[in-house]
Chain A
Amino acid sequence: MIKSRDDKKNSPFEERRKFCPFSQPNSPKIDYKNSKLLNRYISEKGKITPSRITNVSSKKQKELTKAIKRARFLSLMSYTNKIYK
């Protein structure tokens, strides 16, 4: 069954519009020195999470990856988060 647009609007599963966390006014500045902020955008194993999951715009994603790679080089973040047993 095809739903009309009005049905979708009233449904509890209404899609909320997603936005880029770095493109808003007074959103934080991407900086390689702020490792606490960058830690939010890596996976458990230490990989960079893709922008389709975090909704970062492509322009800001480029800045973000650069910042993460700089932080890794300075050993502020690890390249891999190994789980030791």
Chain B
Amino acid sequence: MQKFEAVLLYSPDLSSSNLKEQEDFFEGQIKDHKGTIKAQENWGLRDLSYNINKNKKAFYQFYQLEIEGDKIQDIKKILTQKEQIIRHLFIKVSEHDELPTYLGKN
């Protein structure tokens, strides 16, 4: 098991119930691949510095995970097929940072 950080950007057109659905979907995917979510942080609707797929804003979600490293590739494949997820980033870290993060404070 290795420690990872994940940041997901959701499309701004989603309603709050739809957003919740998408979050549950991601959490389900992690569980299916035998990982655990240590912490989750909501950065809310933020302005993008540049347009992504003609979107000017996006919902940011931040996760701290513990999962087997080779499972990440499968999860990435599933996330790219989702229209509601504009962008995603997984980063391997040696230690999890303390919460809240800089963006989570505001």
Contacts A70-B91, A74-B89, A75-B50; is A33 near B9 (CB within 8 Å)?
no
Q: How large is the interface on B (under 10, 10 to 19, 20 to 34, 35 or more residues)?
A: 10 to 19
Q: Is the interface of A mostly helix, strand, loop or mixed?
A: loop
Mark contacts of A24-36 with chain B using CB atoms, 8 A cut-off: 1 yes-contact digit, 0 otherwise.
0000000111111
Assess whether A75 is in contact with B87, with CB atoms less than 8 Å apart.
yes
Assess whether A34 is in contact with B89, with CB atoms less than 8 Å apart.
no
Assess whether A31 is in contact with B102, with CB atoms less than 8 Å apart.
yes
Let me know if A22 is at the binding interface, CB within 8 A: no
Let me know if B7 is at the binding interface, CB within 8 A: yes
Assess whether A34 is in contact with B50, with CB atoms less than 8 Å apart.
no
Q: With a CB–CB cut-off of 8 A, which chain A residues contact B50?
A: 75, 78-79
Assess whether B102 is in contact with A75, with CB atoms less than 8 Å apart.
no
Q: With a CB–CB cut-off of 8 A, which chain A residues contact B48?
A: 75
Assess whether A70 is in contact with B102, with CB atoms less than 8 Å apart.
no
Considering the complex, which residues of chain B in the window 39-66 have a beta carbon less than 8 Å from any beta carbon of chain A? 48-50, 52, 58, 60, 62
Contacts A70-B89, A74-B7, A75-B87; is A33 near B101 (CB within 8 Å)?
yes
A32 CA / B81 CA spacing, docked (Å): 26
Nearest chain A CB to B47 CB, angstrom units: 9
Q: A75-B87, A76-B103 are in contact. List 19 more A-B contacts (CB 8 A).
A: A31-B101, A33-B62, A33-B101, A33-B102, A33-B103, A34-B102, A35-B102, A36-B102, A70-B89, A73-B87, A74-B7, A74-B60, A74-B89, A75-B50, A75-B52, A76-B49, A77-B49, A78-B49, A79-B50
